[in-house]
Amino acid sequence: MVDGCPTSNLVTIATKFSPSARSVTADSFYVFGLLAEGKVDLIASDHFALHDYAALEVIVRNAGGTVTDWLGQPLDMNSSGTILAAGTATLHGQARAALDAALHAA
């Protein structure tokens, strides 16, 4: 659970705002490669350390995606470990709004 939002609810949250989004549940770096290739649309995770996300953020961003923490802040060495990565800025904005609503509803 992160800030009152159980991680298991992320798929439910994602399908509410984008039922056609392709999803993969994985706790590995492989899924970020799939996002960079356009095979996955959205990733939300809550347990990454700096050494986990530093290279991933650059890969996704250089592939045209958007990566922040769940609060929409850029990832840096003081980030909380939450990651929201999307293939497009539009989808990232929709996911941020859905996460924000879920975090404040809890």
Choose the most confident range, by mean pLDDT, from 13-17, 25-29, 66-70: 66-70
Q: Residue 76's pLDDT band (boundaries 50, 70, 90)? A: very high
Whole-angstrom CA distances from 86 to 81, 105, 106 are 16, 23, 24
Domain range annotation of the chain = 7-105
Edge-to-edge strand ranges of the sheet holding 83-86? 42-45, 83-86, 66-68
Q: Residue 16's pLDDT band (boundaries 50, 70, 90)? A: low
Q: Which CATH number fits domain 7-105: 3.30.2320.50, 3.40.50.300, 3.40.190.80, 3.30.930.10?
A: 3.40.190.80
* Pairwise CA distance, residues 32 & 28, whole Å: 8
pTM score of the predicted model:
0.77
Cross-strand partners of 67: 85
Question: How much of the chain exceeds pLDDT 70, in percent?
Answer: 74
- Looking at the predicted structure, is the pLDDT value of residue 39 above 70? yes
pLDDT mean over 40-61:
88
